[in-house]
């Protein structure tokens, strides 16, 4: 990994911070088992959005192949 690149943990932390500042909700969802490669989709939607509509592509902001529980920058 480059010294100038953030790890996925830090990128997710940044996404959550910006969402909190804008009053939005961050949802992590595992990609479908039919999709390859497997990973985590990240959705940012307005609070109060219906559960089924939350997982539309317009709310998808990122995809992580692997997401660690700590910083690895």
Residue 38 confidence (pLDDT) above 70: yes
Residue 1 confidence (pLDDT) above 70: no
Picking from 13-17, 47-51, 64-68, which range would have the lowest pLDDT averaged per residue?
47-51
Confidence of residue 23 (pLDDT cuts 50, 70, 90): very high
HSE toward the beta carbon, residue 17, CA cutoff 13 A: 6
pLDDT of residue 18: 96
Q: What tokens does 24 get? A: 């939005």
How far is C-alpha 57 from the geometric centre of its chain's CA atoms? 12
Confidence of residue 2 (pLDDT cuts 50, 70, 90): low
Cβ count near 23 (within 10 Å): 8
Mean of pLDDT over the chain: 87
Question: If you search the block for the tokens 């920058």, which residue do you land on?
Answer: 73
Report the 3 state secondary structure along 5-23. Answer: CCCHHHHHHHHHHHHHHCC
């Amino acid at each position: 990994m480059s010294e100038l690149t953030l790890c996925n943990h830090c990128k997710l932390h940044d996404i959550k911070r910006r969402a909190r500042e804008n009053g939005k909700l961050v949802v992590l969802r595992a990609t479908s088992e039919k999709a390859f490669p497997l990973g985590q989709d990240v959705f940012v939607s307005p609070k109060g959005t219906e559960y089924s509509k939350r997982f539309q592509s317009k709310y998808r902001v990122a995809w992580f192949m692997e997401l660690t529980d700590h910083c690895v920058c």
